[in-house]
Structure 1
C-alpha cells in the first residue's frame, strides 16, 4: 500500500471511529430519549449529565476520549507512527462532525484530550493540569477548555518537538469554532460558572 493510500485509509477509518455518538447511544439505550432534545442539545458528557445519570455521563466521557486515543494507538503500533497524530485529529473531526448525525456533533474537548494523552502521556497530563488550574481560577468550564486547548500546541512542541503540534493546532482551531457561542457569552460576562444552576454549554 502506498503512503498516500495508507494515509487515506487511516484518516477515513479514524473519522468513522470518532463519529460514533456514544452519548446519544447510551441515553437511548437507557430509555432517556434523544439527548439532542435536552439542555444544550450537545451529544457530549456534559449534556448527558443533565439527564441525572452520572454513570452514563462518565461512560460517555471515557469513550469519547477513548475514540481519539484508540485511533492514535492503533495507527502508531499497526500502521505508521508518524500518522498517529493525524489519526487522532481525524477521530476528533468525526466526533465534531459525525456523518451519522448530519455532521452535527459534539465540541470535541474529550476526544481532543484522549488524543493528546495517546500522542504523549506527559502532553495529555500537562494539558489536563492547565484545564484544572483554569477551572479552579475562573470556575468556568468552557473557558478552561479554551485556555487548555490554546496552550496545547505550545506544550506539544516543547515536549515532543514536531511530533504532532500541527494536527493539535488544527484541533484547537476547531474547538474555538465549536465554542463560538460560549465565547460570545464569555465576552458578555454571561457564561455560567461550574456548579451554577444556569444551563452550561461546554
Structure 2
C-alpha cells in the first residue's frame, strides 16, 4: 500500500505536466491558450493553435502521462487488481491534469489523459473500449456539436455503461471516480457559449 501511495503521488505530478505547453516552447510557437474560448492547455487547442507537430506531441504526451504511472506501478505491484488503492491510482493523473500544482491548480479538461489512464490497464481492454465507443457514438453517429456538451454526455454515458457492466469491482470504482471527477470539473469550471445541437450525421 505504501508503494501505491508513492506511485499515486507520482501519477498526480505526471498529470500536472502539460505537454501542449512543453511542445509550444520546444517548437517556438505562441501560447496555445491565447485567444481561445476556454483557455484550455489541452490537445484540441494544441492542434488548433500550434499545428500538427505541436498537437501530435501534446497528444502522445498526454496519453503517456496517464498510462505510464499505472504501467510502472503494475510492474512493482503484481496483485494490482486487488489493491484497494487502485481507484486512487487511476484518478491521480487525472487529478493532476484537472488541478495541477504547477499551474495554481487550474488545469485542463482531462479528456486525453483519461484515455491514457485506461490504456494503462491493458490487457484489460474493456474500459478504454467503452470510453472510445462513447466518444465515437456522440461524435460520428448521434453527433453533439458542442464540445462542452459532448464531453459531458460522453462521460455520463461512460459512467452509466461502467455501472451497468461487469468490470472487476476495483476497476469499476476507478472508472466511476474518473467519470465523476471529469463531470464535476466540467460543470463547475466551464461554461458553454454555444447552444446544444444534436443530430444524426447522415441527416445533417
Conserved 8 A contact 1:118-1:124:
no
Runs of 4+ that moved beyond 4 A: 181-184
DSSP 3-state at the match of 2:120: helix
1:146 aligns with 2:152: yes
Conserved 8 A contact 1:18-1:67:
yes
- The structure 1 residue matched to 2:90, chosen from 85, 88, 111, is 88
1:132 aligns with 2:128: no
Q: In structure 1, what is the equivalent of residue 22 of structure 2?
A: 25
Could you list the per-position Cα deviations for residues 151-182 of structure 1 after superposition, in whole angstroms to 9, with x for gaps in the alignment? 33443452423032222222212212332279
Cα separation, partners in 2 of 1:124 and 1:134, compared to 1, 3 Å: same
Q: In structure 1, what is the equivalent of residue 45 of structure 2?
A: 47
Conserved 8 A contact 1:73-1:118:
yes
Q: Distance in 2 between matches of 1:61 and 1:13?
A: 20
- The structure 2 residue matched to 1:118, chosen from 111, 117, 120, is 120
Q: Distance in 2 between matches of 1:84 and 1:38?
A: 39
DSSP 3-state at the match of 1:34: coil
Conserved 8 A contact 2:86-2:170:
no
Could you list the per-position Cα deviations for residues 58-82 of structure 1 after superposition, in whole angstroms to 9, with x for gaps in the alignment? 2212221221111221112223513
Judge which range, 66-75 or 137-146, deviates more: 137-146
Task: Give the root-mean-square deviation of aligned CA atoms.
Answer: 2.5
Q: Which runs of 5+ in 1 are unaligned?
A: 194-202
Judge which range, 121-130 or 157-166, deviates more: 157-166
Q: Distance in 1 between matches of 2:109 and 2:22?
A: 17
Q: In structure 2, what is the equivalent of residue 34 of structure 1?
A: 31
1:165 aligns with 2:169: no
1:104 aligns with 2:106: yes
- TM-score normalised by the chain length of structure 2: 0.79
Q: Distance in 1 between matches of 2:21 and 2:159?
A: 30
Relative to total residues, which structure has the larger helix share, 1 or 2?
1
DSSP 3-state at the match of 1:37: coil
Could you list the per-position Cα deviations for residues 175-200 of structure 1 after superposition, in whole angstroms to 9, with x for gaps in the alignment? 12332279753xx862589xxxxxxx
Cα separation, partners in 2 of 1:59 and 1:85, compared to 1, 3 Å: farther
Q: Distance in 2 between matches of 1:8 and 1:183?
A: 30
Q: In structure 2, what is the equivalent of residue 197 of structure 1?
A: none
Q: How many residues align?
A: 188
Cα separation, partners in 2 of 1:70 and 1:192, compared to 1, 3 Å: farther
